[in-house]
Structure 1
């Protein structure tokens, strides 16, 4: 970049500053991507999120903006900016002008087209290693470029996700279409007509890097809303339910789904875990139905899965469930189509999303919620926070809230998709959690997982960074790059005007009546694990019921199904699962028994005896909740 082009790239910013009465909130500045990074507090000016701001400025005005960083640190600029009566606009104008001068000087010395090392040293040769003579050994300590390139390659990958490793992401916007949301929540993201920037990551639960997309699996549907009050993460799936209620079972589920000690995936381990966890029967039935293999991510729904809460300005709470309905229709693949596509185009789901957005076919989803009052929750015949069950749409109808549209694909998969971090614990004022046991476990587990993957400063990555100021007393940690709190106090309370909590953001108490000692409570006894699965089975059309039977029987009897090819499932495990499905529906039990070639009566006896023995062991040291649901 020439010296003249540097000044030219900065001139629109300087002109915008001159045309505005103040820096903060200036419309001319906003067109160049400037957020308000300065706020006043007495006579002090605090720079907030300066590093992220400079990234956006750089995108807006080109490489010359690097000089602004130098200018902000320049003593002359600081001296001029500290004079009494100097407006914020004038201060930034002086900074930009000084930056242009510095950039002109720098541009005369450095040509950015010349390849450099990470430290900025120009390279003269990137094709030949340094050796002691033509046939001699390499001089590794002298060849900094050789070392640097290999060191960078060896460290290009962060710790992968244990589940949901492979996925695709896109940026977009969420627009509210419901003008009556204020009666449920004071969250600003739901103000009538408001648009909010969002990011979504779609993924396969058991998908490893390099995995085929078109396998039978649950899909992740993780959303990040960049609201003015912070990031709100809604980390859901394409299924409205899950396998179990208690988070203590989550590691065991993951182990049964992923590779075994031999390094192989196995239907034996999956069916063994599912059969010995009868509450999973609803989710398993869904998984082996048509929606178990969507045609692509664009043709599936998304769900928040858990019950959450909304709080309005009067601090009144309601329980809600989130639904995201695809506007591209629902389309699925059969097992045979999924297997065929796996061989022809294993990355089809990712490619389909990327190509659709780049061609202007922006995928859309409608957001709906179901709403349940606290009084209705108390009167419900089953636990409304049981994630293995759904809420009746007849009793709790869907309410349209808004629309999600995705219109931009990340330029760097690694930066924005691989390093994206979602956590259900990330909420904003007006939204809250629920007593859902599995949700309670996820509130801790997801943040802990991303702290392990990315470090405690992973929130500074562009895709994870809130679009609002951050005021905390957290300090240090690897790769801290946001100023680290500067010279301000690093503890609270303090006497130096640091940020303080505001009681107006306190949530109302969650209505939980807790009695009894702290111990392990058996939370499965008396719960009906089959009524909702039966309702789903009866909703399936006859041809889908046939496919469900065929898919389950093939995976157990032959050990083959889209995504996994393993040894057949032992007869004992088949019998236990047959017992569970026969309890869902008699017709389902008879048809599955015939497909497996098993005698239903003897299988029922084996399954009942096995599970009774298991329950006896599992509940020996627990307090039983003896109040049945229905």
Structure 2
């Protein structure tokens, strides 16, 4: 994708309407020291444009960096999907990738302890496919209805306008479903050393369908070929002061030097029958699928090889939405995914405008054809004099029956508000396995140190209650983890013992 603008050099300066500008740097006044005249319309245009240079920043993932690249197929998965970008080995698809932090503002540091957004946009001949994931395979919550509350705790206290460990840990301790993601966040994986040195995940469960209309569930993984590198808590803290934009700088410098970052793209596959008997809810975003039971199937690789020519136009205005799928890839009953189908496009329409998908970085480079019309900043001709309704007797446009998707049965036809944790309240086994069986001794020590440091910021009259409640969750996941945190916080063990749930 080439998004260089068409501005002329060695040419006269004009207003936005194309009129020549006769004097650029001085306002028109009555006399040398006199008041400025209202008729200096270029002054007004400059100031009005300047006042509107900023669009609303993203509520989440506000700080980010991006790059163009390509996806190359190296292995055949046509037995699982008919999506054209996977149709043959060697096929290349243009891409745009945006990395980000989740909770901070646009000016926040790249080394904050935070999940990292890892969003992929594939410009395919069947339309744009957005795979909007993170650098972790799970998330803090499993139902989108809880998302605004969760994000509020990660932002600023409404009274003090300061970040609040008390809000953060109060929410997490009251929602043990967050424990798996919190443990990953509190490990050194919560402070990756640059975007080239972290894995990415689609996180949600999606579906695939092949040319025989056979259907499976999938999870997407994109693993760094540069090797995992993380910062310790102290290193991340120092980096915030010395080079808050180090992640963006590393990415730009690597691409400029021709050291193009690559990520191996793989899938996990689960059949519909396996989904019915899986130990946990396979659509629960707080859980992973064991790679021993559902091994990674390599598909291809992502290569980032071009720096955007203008940050605002191509990174800040880049808009991703899990609703953007292509034939051969589908949704699943994942409650968080279902909520994002609505919320992400809605956020982009608010932030950039209803025609945001016509912007060059977001536009499908192949044909689009529909009856959407009008709205602010419609700059693509608005389909000229073509009909704006369907069906009609003039244009011959038609629907594609193959794009309807596959019929499927739901577990129930009962409509109700179902408890998201009913029959799915094991929030402890997977994080316990992660700490006890995956982390080495140094990773365990660093994780405990990071948790102790984070929980030490809890304050106020509910401090002890919040700490004790969260400690009970840590102990349920792993006794060594709970003991290490309790000792680091200098907790009265007899008092804690009285509060611990009886097994």
Q: TM-score range by the shorter chain?
A: over 0.9
> 1:276-318, CA deviations, whole angstroms, 9 ceiling, x for partnerless residues?
0001011000001111100101100000000101100111111
Give the aligned partner of residue 549 of structure 1: 448
Residues 1:443 and 2:336 are matched in the alignment: no
Query: CA contact under 8 A between 2:283 and 2:333: conserved in structure 1?
Result: yes
1:605 Cα shift?
A: 4.5
Query: CA contact under 8 A between 1:206 and 1:257: conserved in structure 2?
Result: yes
Q: What TM-score does the superposition give when structure 2 sets the normalisation length? A: 0.95
Q: 1:395 aligns with which of 278, 293, 300?
A: 293
Hey, which of these two has a bigger chunk of helix by percent?
Answer: 1
Return the alpha-carbon distance in structure 2 between the equivalents of residues 130 and 331 of structure 1.
57
Give the aligned partner of residue 81 of structure 1: none
526-535 or 120-129, which deviates more: 120-129
1:250-329 mapped onto 2 (5 Å cutoff): 250-261=147-158, 262-329=160-227
Change (3 A) 1:567 1:238: farther
1:112 Cα shift?
A: 5.7
Return the alpha-carbon distance in structure 2 between the equivalents of residues 511 and 439 of structure 1.
18
Residues 1:217 and 2:110 are matched in the alignment: no
Change (3 A) 1:264 1:498: farther
Query: CA contact under 8 A between 1:215 and 1:293: conserved in structure 2?
Result: yes
Instruction: For residue 182 of structure 1, give the secondary structure of its aligned residue in structure 2.
Output: coil
Give the aligned partner of residue 242 of structure 1: 139
Return the alpha-carbon distance in structure 2 between the equivalents of residues 285 and 292 of structure 1.
9
Q: 2:46 aligns with which of 146, 149, 155?
A: 149
Return the alpha-carbon distance in structure 2 between the equivalents of residues 599 and 303 of structure 1.
40
Q: 1:186 aligns with which of 58, 82, 98?
A: 82
1:410 Cα shift?
A: 0.5
Give the aligned partner of residue 232 of structure 1: 129
Instruction: For residue 285 of structure 1, give the secondary structure of its aligned residue in structure 2.
Output: helix
1:601 Cα shift?
A: 5.0
Q: 2:327 aligns with which of 429, 434, 439?
A: 429
Q: What number of residue pairs does the alignment pair up?
A: 498
Q: 1:587 aligns with which of 480, 485, 497?
A: 480
List gaps (5 residues or longer) in structure 2.
Answer: none
Q: 1:474 aligns with which of 350, 372, 380?
A: 372
Query: CA contact under 8 A between 1:410 and 1:416: conserved in structure 2?
Result: yes
Instruction: For residue 371 of structure 1, give the secondary structure of its aligned residue in structure 2.
Output: strand
Return the alpha-carbon distance in structure 1 between the equivalents of residues 269 and 416 of structure 2.
32
Q: 1:169 aligns with which of 42, 66, 70?
A: 66
> 1:321-355, CA deviations, whole angstroms, 9 ceiling, x for partnerless residues?
00010011000001111111111111110111111
1:434 Cα shift?
A: 0.5
Change (3 A) 1:124 1:443: same
Give the aligned partner of residue 492 of structure 2: 599
RMSD, aligned CA: 2.0
Whose RCO is larger (CA < 8 A, sep 6+)?
Answer: 2
Return the alpha-carbon distance in structure 2 between the equivalents of residues 415 and 608 of structure 1.
54
Q: 1:460 aligns with which of 358, 362, 370?
A: 358
Give the aligned partner of residue 282 of structure 2: 384
Q: Which is higher, the Rg of structure 1 or of structure 2?
A: 1
Query: Which contiguous aligned blocks of 4+ residues in structure 1 show a shift greater than 4 angstroms?
Result: 566-569, 604-609
1:322-341 mapped onto 2 (5 Å cutoff): 322-341=220-239
Residues 1:528 and 2:421 are matched in the alignment: no
Query: CA contact under 8 A between 1:172 and 1:197: conserved in structure 2?
Result: yes
Change (3 A) 1:446 1:604: farther
Give the aligned partner of residue 308 of structure 2: 410
Return the alpha-carbon distance in structure 2 between the equivalents of residues 474 and 488 of structure 1.
11
List gaps (5 residues or longer) in structure 1.
Answer: 1-32, 34-54, 65-110, 560-565, 610-630
> 1:369-401, CA deviations, whole angstroms, 9 ceiling, x for partnerless residues?
100011111111211111101001111000100
Return the alpha-carbon distance in structure 2 between the equivalents of residues 428 and 372 of structure 1.
20
Query: CA contact under 8 A between 1:242 and 1:283: conserved in structure 2?
Result: yes
Q: What TM-score does the superposition give when structure 1 sets the normalisation length? A: 0.76
Query: CA contact under 8 A between 1:267 and 1:569: conserved in structure 2?
Result: no
Change (3 A) 1:569 1:544: farther
> 1:60-96, CA deviations, whole angstroms, 9 ceiling, x for partnerless residues?
xx789xxxxxxxxxxxxxxxxxxxxxxxxxxxxxxxx
Query: CA contact under 8 A between 1:575 and 1:604: conserved in structure 2?
Result: no
